[in-house]
Structure formats: structure tokens, C-alpha cells
A and B are shown apart, each in its own frame.
Chain A
Amino acid sequence: MNAPAEHARIAKQHLIDPEICIRCNTCEETCPINAITHDSLNYVVKFDVCEGCMACISPCPTGAIDSWRNVERDSPYTLEEQFSWEVLPDTRELDEIEATIGGTPQTPAEVRELTEVATAGQGGAALAPWSAAHPYVNLHSPTRPVTATVSGNYRLTAEDTSSEIHHIVLDFGATPFPVLEGQSIGVIPPGTDAQGKPHLLRMYSVASPREGERPHYNNLALTVKRVTEDHEGAPARGVASNFLCDLKKGDKVQVTGPYGSTFLMPNHPGSSIMMICTGTGSAPMRAMTERRRRRMHLKEDGELMLFFGARSPGELPYFGPLQKLPGDFIDINLAFSRVPDEPKKYVQDRIRERADKVFHLLNDDNCFIYICGLKGMESGVMEAFRDICRSNGAEWDELRPRLLTSGRFHIETY
């Protein structure tokens, strides 16, 4: 997860053309998040609120609403400037650049870029489950990160495997850093890159439940894989992952965030969770499972179903603790693709084997579905869902939008 945006600095700012706007108020009325306001002269869009959902575009009778200019993300046109306009500013060279739509400046550009890539597979904007707790986001910016102290660093995978995954516990002392299962944090590796610039932050999912890896202490856990090659298998040394995997107890880490307000778990009794992951994509699943495990005695009902893929049992993080969980608490389906003398199994194969239950859960309004891991797993899982739906006389392409709008479908892949 370390591809910084090419033009993260540049944002597309949503504007309203004052020359053709007739002040009909339709846009302000339509906007679901009150990003549009007006004075006696102009209607204007708040750069830090607008999320570019486009709900206002087609209702506009004039087309004035469909106006965009590229700006430096740190210095968009202010409301005062927009109020004073009689015409839109001329387009500039900056406008030639491919840029993403404006939005909340407190979320760092790289976080936004990474999130956009990671959630692309959802097929639309996701909503948090209705019973999710309210997340805190952007408490600590890259310019003012919080210093965390390492209170533990353990290798999770067997020593004889090439995959080196660590469980790292960070303690925040007296600095507030509230997180929910499914949220991420940013880590800024020390030092500078080849161009002499400070490293950009890298994002990691939190692997511990909300009350901490060690309950009631201000700490959280990460699941970090030491990156030694890139996606194509060429040797590459991941700056942040190697920094993290090499940390010793007592070392300091610069942390930003938390981030993420939709990939969150449901909290209502009776809610079920289907989790599909590979490798370090298990981090949020571990957090949710652990949350549920600690509340097992409350007998809140609802099922947990896990599909978890790795090359071999030795490379599967949290393999040992997983094995100890009771079968009536969680329905575990492991898929190994590199076990000698056994046929290769991927998560989608296991999903197909459990078609009946999967279909039941897909259609259960109380079941929430989470997918996290490498981008490559996405298409296989979608195909499996498609087939399962078809063989039950349903259409995945109809089901998926419904899942999305009810906050039941969440993807983070990288």
C-alpha cells in the first residue's frame, strides 16, 4: 500500500458558474451534506465539505453547477472569493492535470488516494452499517503526527516460511487515539526518500479491537508484512514495512489518523459478519473477531463466517489462536494454495463449497460482508458470488447495489 498519488497536491474544485446560475436553490436543497450555500449574489460550494457525489448535477436547470477548476489542495478558492465572482476564473495550465474531486482537506491526500484505490472494488460509495459506532477520524495530521511507543513486536508466521508477518503493538500513552475495528492508521517512516523529501505516510489496518490489544490501555496492534518484493515479484524493499518489522520494544513511531468511516463492524445483537481475506488483509478481521470473542459471554447471537487464504498454514497469520476458537463461535474456512501434494485452494473455492450458507448470509439483512487483502482476490470472489446467486435464481448485479446502499458490503484491497 505504498503508491503515492502522482498529483495528490492538486484537487478538482467544484464551483458554480455565476454567469448562468439563476439562484433557484435546487442545488442547495438537493445536496445531502449541506455543501452548498449562498449570499445575495452567488451560490457557492464549500470545498472542504463537498464529496463530489454529483447529486446536484442533474437537477440543476442551467448547467451552472457542472463547473470545475483544478486548484492546489491547500489553497482552494475560498467562499469569499466565490461570493465576489461575476464570472468563473479562467482555466489555467493546472486544469490540464487529471485530478480527483476536492473534498475534506483534513484527510491527507495520500490517504484519500489510497482509500480510493482500496475501495474501488465495491462498485460505489459504501456506507457504514447502521449500528456501527461513530468513528473518530483525522485526529492527527501528517504535519502534527502523534508519537507512539512500541510495546511489543512478534513474528506471526513460521520461521521457515518466506513470508514474514509481524504483530506490532503501539502504545499512545496519554495522547487520545480512539479507533474502531476496520479503521486504519498512518505511519510515517523516518528519514527521506531518494529525492531528499520526507517519506509519505503508509496506511495499516488496526488488528485489535476498540478497547485495545491490552484492554483498557491506550494501545493498538498492527499486522505488518515485511515487503521484499513488489507486486510483480521483483526485489523491492518496503520502506515502512521494514522499518516497522525491525522495531524493538521502546522504539518510537510517528503515527497519523485514524482513518476510515465506512469499513466498520455492526454492533447490534444478532448481526452476522462474513469475512473474506488473504494475508495481512486479516488485520481488520482479527480485530472484529477479537471484539466478538471478548463479548462471547453476552450471548448476543449472530454468526461469524471467515474465509481466509494463504499459501500454507505456516504463512497464515494468527493461525494458532484461530484454531482455538470454538466452532459454534466462528465458522472458519481456510484455503491454502501451496501445500505440497494437495490441490491448490483459493478463498473463492471455499466460498463455492459453502454456497448454501453464503447465499443465505448474502440475503440476510443482518449479515455484513467484508473483503480485505490483495487486489487479485477480488475478481475471484465476485465471480463466486455471481455463480452462487445465479444457481439460486438471483442476480449478483442486483444484489450488490442493495448491499451497498444498506451498508452491508465493504471492500479494501491493495
Chain B
Amino acid sequence: MINYSELIPNNVGLSENKTLQRALEHWQPSYLQWWQEMGPDDSSGYDVYLRTAISVDPKGWANFDYVKMPDYRWGIFLAPQDGERKIHFGEHKGQDAWQEVPGEYRSTLRRIIVTQGDTEPASVEQQRHLGLTAPSLYDLRNLFQVNVEEGRHLWAMVYLLHAYFGRDGREEGEALLERRSGDADNPRILTAFNEKTPDWLSFFMFTFITDRDGKFQLASLAESAFDPLARTCKFMLTEEAHHMFVGESGVARIIQRTCEVMKELKTDDPALLRAAGVIDLPTLQKYLNFHYSVTSDLYGAEISSNAATYYTNGLKGRFDEGKIDDDHKLQANEYAILDVSGDRIVTRHVPALSALNDRLRDDWIADVQAGVDRWNRIPAKFGFDFRFTLPHKGFHRRIGIFADIHVSPDGRIISEAEWTHQHHKWLPNEEDRLHVHALMGPCFERGKFANWIAPPARGINNQPVDFEYVRFN
């Protein structure tokens, strides 16, 4: 059970470790101050219908009630410990999972945890102004739920830093609150987390695509030989699912609304649809292209000796490592990656161990594709021919094999000149962004939704769609 009588709710027996407890209690006010400064704008007094974990078992972790966000019970929850857990991949396969950090992997593990931890407050910062233009109370509530849970994920990572990395860890914990998304002098670590999330379409695309990167990173860390990290990530994954739901259903509702208007006006002319106050499907495709390609970079270079080392050392596994049927050491296996050969894109077989980044990216792509397939059912249902497609893996990449060339969405290597002339057709241009931006505006009447988005099929926690998800007081 989670102990709520303490200042910091936890299921890790914090009260029995006074040093750690004091360190975290010292960090807590800094965190709250960060939330006040960088959390959702003007939201402190709102009562928000939030889900709070009261225990980590299936029945207890989704407890719904009105909460003021600064009073949200951020805490430290780990999935239950399995005393028998063995390392199940890499060179330590078969040995007991580590309950402490082995000295030789200390700095690497710290780097992994800091990088993961840094994305959590970053996304809260990226999304902090969105509350002012929410298309409904339902969506506003979902935004805040995503925000408080990203905050809790930061807590989870800071707990690991404090509990297992001593003074270095505490300093990293402070630094996580000092970096700022988009700040020129002290930016967040990963590029995608310094991009703006200027509107709700970007927010939905971000939660659908970029939070899904989070899912795959967490899932591969949940395989880690370092047991506290594995258990932390396992519980975070349960929360992450809601974020992807917000994104997938958010975009789906925009598609639904656009299709309704297309049917009503009997047109697919973007100009007419924009005039009617909805987002035309080609513009949605451009946003998809942008977020997909930017997030793709988060997996890093196709060939990576770092990734190979992480795997061999047991720090980070593959997605669903336990369900893969091979030797879990990858000494002799191969993996097919794309490569550039002159003016052609070719398939090349490389040692599987060196291609783990690309493998995780491929797992993520399959998952994104499945969501896109479900989006495509909507125009199909209306009888429209439009279908969303994922651009080529090499499209609009800044990292890896494709960083130095230009690739069209359909996978052709193109010249600098062609890219310059064409890219505004593939990525949101100024005009597209202005149109989307112009649609943004608050819609806070119970049960009402902004014109550009359809209501959801179901409310949260079986509440009706017109439930008062946020009370402004």
C-alpha cells in the first residue's frame, strides 16, 4: 500500500531511510516552486477531476476525485518487487537482478535516468499555455492529467537519483528543475523537448507520437538489470497509456469533425473547410509528418555502439525482451537497417547488437502505424478516399544515416533545391500554423466542444461527456 500519512506518499518504505527521506523532503519545495513557475498557467485554484494512484495494484492506482493540482499527491510508486527476478539478457543473463548500482555502470545508468527524467518536466513546460485555449472541459482535464503524471514521472526518476547515486544524484535532481524547455542558455537535453507545443493539434500529435517514444523507452528500461529502475518504469508505463489515449483520440476526434463538415459541405477543398472552421485532412497529414520525423530522431543513430554496450551490460533491454525468442545476447544475430548508397536507399544487414536503436524505432513505428490505421477508418466510414500515411523513415531527419541528405515522404532521395521547393507541402508551413492557431480558443461550457473537434465517444471514468471535469472556482 502507499503510505499517504507521510509528506511524500510512497510504497518504498521512505520513513525507514531517514537520509533519503530528508533529501527528498528538501527537493520537494523546489519541485513545487518549479510547478508554480512552469506548470500549467493560472491553474492553481482549479478543482480538476483527476486520477491519483492510491496503491500500485490494479484496483488502487486509478482513484478519481477533484484535486487542486498543487495538492496532487506526487509520490514514489514502484511496481511490486519480485524477489526471484533474474537478469534476462546481455552478458549477466541468469544472474540475480541488481538491487544496488554496480560501480562500473554508475555513470552510464545515471545518464540514462537523467535523460529520461529530463523529458518529464520538459513536456509540462512545453504544454503550459495550452490550458488557456482548451476546446472543452474534458480536454482541459486530460491535459492536466497528463501534466501531473509527467510531474510524477519526474519524481520517480529523482527518487532513483537520490536513493542510488548519492551526492551526484542529488545535484542531478536539482539540475532537472533548472533546465528549461526552449531556453537558449540552459535547454532540455533532447531536441524534441525544446520544440514548442503551440496549439492543441500539436499537443495531440505530441502525446500520440512523442509520448509513444516514452512508452518504448520506458518499456526497454523496464527490462533493466537494475531492478529499482525496472520496477519504476513498469509503473510509469501504466500511466503513460492514458497520455497516448489523449493523443490518439484527440486527433481522431479532429478527423471525425472534419469529415462531418466535408460531408455537410460536400467538399474536400481545404480553403472551404478552413473557412468553415475545421482543420483539413492534408494539414493534419503535415503535422503527422512533422511530429513523426522529429520524434524518430529521439531513438538516435541507426548504428550505435552505446546502445550495444547498454544492452550487453544489461542496462537497457529491447521492447518486450521477455517475449522475444532468441538467445538474448545477440552475439551472432543480424538486423536489417536502411542505408544510403550513392543516390539510393538500400537495405543492409548489420550485427543486431549494433542496431538496437533502430530496432526500438521499428517497434515504435509499427505501434504508430497501428494508430494511424485506426484513424483511417474514419474517412473510410464516411466514404472518403483520403488516407493518412507515415512518411519514409529517412524523411526530415537530423540524426543518423539520413541526417545529411533529403528524403521525400515517399522515400526518394531528393536534391537540396527540390527540398527547398517542396518541403512546405510536406511539413506545416507558416500559413498552416496560423490557421490552426486561429482556431484555438477556450470552450469551457459544460458539454460543449470547439467547432474543430468532435466530442469523445465516452467520458472519463464512465462519467458523462458533459460532466464538470474542471471547476474554475
Contacts and interface: CB of A to CB of B under 8 A. Distances in A.
Interface of A: 19-20, 22-26, 29-30, 40-41, 55-56, 58-59, 61-63, 66, 86
Residue of B61, B457, B462 with most chain A CB atoms under a 10 A cut-off = B457
B7 interface: no
B244 interface: yes
B371 interface: yes
B241 A58 contact: no
25 contacts: A20-B457, A20-B458, A22-B241, A22-B244, A23-B367, A24-B241, A24-B244, A24-B245, A25-B241, A26-B241, A30-B238, A40-B370, A41-B370, A55-B58, A58-B59, A58-B61, A58-B62, A59-B61, A59-B238, A59-B241, A61-B241, A61-B244, A61-B245, A62-B245, A63-B461
Interface in B246-267: 248-249
B371 A23 contact: yes
A16 to B, nearest CB: 13
Interface in B366-421: 366-367, 370-371, 373-374, 377
Nearest to A24: B241
A20 B58 contact: no
A86 B215 CA distance: 25
A41 B374 CA distance: 9
- Number of chain B interface residues as a range: 20 to 34
B242 interface: yes
Contacts of B462: 63, 66
Contacts of A62: 245, 249, 458
Chain A contact residues, majority secondary structure = loop
A24 B458 CA distance: 17
Given A20-B457, A58-B58, A26 B238 contact: yes
Nearest to A56: B58
With most chain A CB atoms within 10 A of its CB, the pick from B58, B215, B461 is B58
A119 B244 CA distance: 41
B58 A22 contact: no
Interface of B: 58-59, 61-62, 215, 237-238, 240-242, 244-245, 248-249, 366-367, 370-371, 373-374, 377, 457-458, 461-462
B377 A86 contact: yes
**Max count, chain A CB within 10 A of own CB: residue among B61, B215, B458:** B458
A24 B368 CA distance: 11
Contacts of B458: 20, 62-63
A59 B457 contact: no
A59 B240 CA distance: 11
Contacts of A24: 215, 240-241, 244-245
Nearest to A30: B58
A61 B64 CA distance: 12
Nearest to B370: A23
A18 to B, nearest CB: 8
A66 B458 CA distance: 11
A40 B367 CA distance: 9
B242 A61 contact: yes
Contacts of B61: 58-59
Contact of A22 (B59, B62, B371, B461): B371
Contacts of B245: 22, 24, 61-62
Given A24-B241, A61-B245, 17 more contacts: A19-B457, A20-B249, A22-B244, A23-B367, A24-B240, A26-B237, A40-B366, A40-B370, A56-B58, A58-B58, A58-B59, A58-B62, A59-B62, A59-B241, A61-B241, A62-B458, A63-B458
A80 B8 CA distance: 47
A50 to B, nearest CB: 14
A25 B215 CA distance: 11
A98 B23 CA distance: 56
Nearest to B215: A24
Nearest to A19: B457
A26 B370 CA distance: 16
Nearest to A40: B370
Contacts of A55: 58-59
Nearest to B458: A63
A80 B223 CA distance: 31
A70 to B, nearest CB: 20
Candidate in A19, A25, A41, A59 with the most chain B CB atoms within 10 angstroms: A59
A22 B367 CA distance: 10
Nearest to B243: A61
Contacts of A61: 241-242, 244-245
A153 B215 CA distance: 66
Closest 10 CB pairs of A and B: A24-B241, A61-B242, A61-B245, A58-B62, A55-B58, A63-B458, A26-B241, A61-B241, A22-B248, A22-B245
Among B245, B249, B462, the one with the most A-chain Cβ atoms within 10 Å of its Cβ is: B245
Contacts of A58: 58-59, 61-62
B249 to A, nearest CB: 7
Nearest to B459: A63
A39 B134 CA distance: 35
Nearest to A58: B62
Contacts of A22: 241, 244-245, 248-249, 371, 374
A137 B462 CA distance: 38
A30 B57 CA distance: 9
Contacts of A56: 58
A41 B371 CA distance: 9
B381 to A, nearest CB: 8
Nearest to B246: A61
A38 B181 CA distance: 37
Contacts of B238: 26, 29-30, 59
A5 B371 CA distance: 43
A170 to B, nearest CB: 43
A58 B52 CA distance: 12
Contacts of A30: 58, 238
A86 B376 CA distance: 11
A23 B366 CA distance: 12
A360 B54 CA distance: 32
Contacts of B370: 23, 40-41
Nearest to B219: A25
Contacts of B249: 20, 22, 62
A19 to B, nearest CB: 7
A56 B367 CA distance: 21
A84 B335 CA distance: 31
A40 to B, nearest CB: 6
A22 B207 CA distance: 12
A55 B56 CA distance: 12
Contacts of A40: 366, 370
A20 B245 CA distance: 9
